[in-house]
Chains A and B, each alone.
Chain A
């Protein structure tokens, strides 16, 4: 058996060339592709993490804004209710005052009217009493009584003449 060094050498060289060619043409590009892919994956992960972080922050901001909005809304509603209560109280108070004034006015007017009516009734009664008295006296006095009355009046007149 003859180990031919040349052939071994040729094989070694051949193998080296193939290896070199493979490394240069295949291995390095593939590695490069893998590296790029890894890099992209890494970048994607970072972007996703950043997105998640940003989303969390945004959610926090959103919650915070919502809470503030709720507080503000509650305050506005509370203020409005307070104001409405106060306004209602004022309206009721004014209405009561006006009602009292109106009642007093009506009562005063009624009293005045009542006094006037009583006065008128008394006046009419007086008129009626006098008229009836005149009729009764006229009918009651007979000639004798009339003459007696005339005598009395004449005597009085004569005394004072």
Chain B
């Protein structure tokens, strides 16, 4: 029985099927073990816009919320 790789996609709105497929394909390509990829979608309006993808323990955060937080930190450091 093949193990499943859980991938979570967090965004402010629901992903389109095309977007979901793109993510799954990309992860499957990267995954050399040939594990099945299962995508879970999380709708979280607090991220404002963009997407955050979690693959196992790895996280790729491209949400507007995180970008604004980084900008906030940089501005505060430069005061």
Contact = CB atoms under 8 A, between A and B. Distances in A.
Interface residues of B, number: 29
A111 interface: no
Contacts of A16: none
Contacts, number: 72
B30 A153 contact: no
Contacts of B26: 154, 157-158, 161
Contact of A150 (B45, B50, B71): B50
B50 A153 contact: yes
Interface residues on A, range: 20 to 34
B11 A126 contact: no
B38 to A, nearest CB: 17
Contact of A161 (B16, B30, B45, B49): B30
A93 B12 CA distance: 73
Interface in A11-28: none
A141 B49 contact: yes
Contact of B23 (A141, A146, A154): A154
A119 B11 contact: no
A143 B18 CA distance: 15
A134 B62 contact: no
A130 B72 contact: yes
A157 B71 contact: no
Nearest to B75: A126
B51 A154 contact: yes
Q: Which 9 A-B pairs have the closest CB atoms?
A: A153-B62, A158-B26, A130-B72, A126-B75, A122-B79, A138-B48, A161-B30, A153-B51, A146-B13
Interface of A: 119, 122-123, 126-127, 129-130, 133-134, 137-138, 141, 143, 145-147, 149-151, 153-154, 156-158, 160-161
